[in-house]
Amino acid sequence: MKLKWLGHACFLITADDGTRILTDPYNAEVGYKLPLEDADYVTVSHDHFDHNSVANVPGSPEVIKGPGHFELGTVNAVGVPTAHDEQGGAKRGHNTAYCFDLPGAGETVRICHLGDLGHQLTPQQRESIGEVDVLLVPTGGTYTITAGGAADLVRQMRPRVVVPMHYKTDVLSFPLSPVTDFTQLMGRADIEFTGQPSVTLDAAEVKALERSGDRPKVLVLEYTR
């Protein structure tokens, strides 16, 4: 399977059979280039312009919004209700964390995209999300959990692989913190600045990694479009 970061909270997830899922499409105000890439399915974590701009996705993808269970081709998905802030959504509204079960060669890898999560997960939310292999976590603060909050969440969820998102880059127009605020807090982790926007994940290799809150594999993708 392949994971490509298009900037902000937008990823193109391509399953082994070619099923394409695009998360949280943005508009031109965000600073990243448009149009986005073709996809079969689009998930929207919440209705803010930097996450719900489905019109910028070419073609006619099926759009998934809100909590529930979904079949995205060969990929089973679950949307777990969360909030955009620490007040149950009173300040910024609600947010949906999406988990995708991608079938591999005898293995299923669970990728979890947390959207604009603004709080620590409750035990019930963690149970609904389940054991995560690859965690896509916001780290830039301001509108989401902070870098420290993201590090705390990693320790609680114990994923095998962590991919930071929603942080400050040279082209982003928002006042977020840089990804290094997060990586500096993950001192015992295996941190790799890939220098590339995409990575190919082998299901067996991911499953062979230790499930750890202190020493996960952290992949920092680089926006290059």
**CA quadruple 46, 195, 99, 143: dihedral, nearest 10:** -30
Is pTM beyond 0.75? Reply is: yes
Average confidence score pLDDT of the chain? 94
Predicted pLDDT at 213: 84
Q: Is residue 225 part of a domain?
A: no
Predicted pLDDT at 4: 98
The radius of gyration computed from the CA coordinates of the chain, to the nearest angstrom, equals 16
Label residues 118-152 b or e (16+ Cβ within 10 Å = b): bbebeeebbebbeebbbbbbbbbbebbbbbebbbe
Q: Is residue 212 part of a domain?
A: yes
Predicted pLDDT at 212: 84
Range of the structural domain that residue 71 is part of: 2-220
What confidence category does residue 22 fall into, taking pLDDT thresholds of 50, 70 and 90? very high
Q: Is residue 209 part of a domain?
A: yes
Mean pLDDT within 107-116: 96
**For position 214, which CATH number holds?**
3.60.15.10
Predicted pLDDT at 115: 96
Query: What digits encode the pLDDT tens for the residues 192-206?
Result: 999 999 999 999 999
The count of domains in the chain is 1
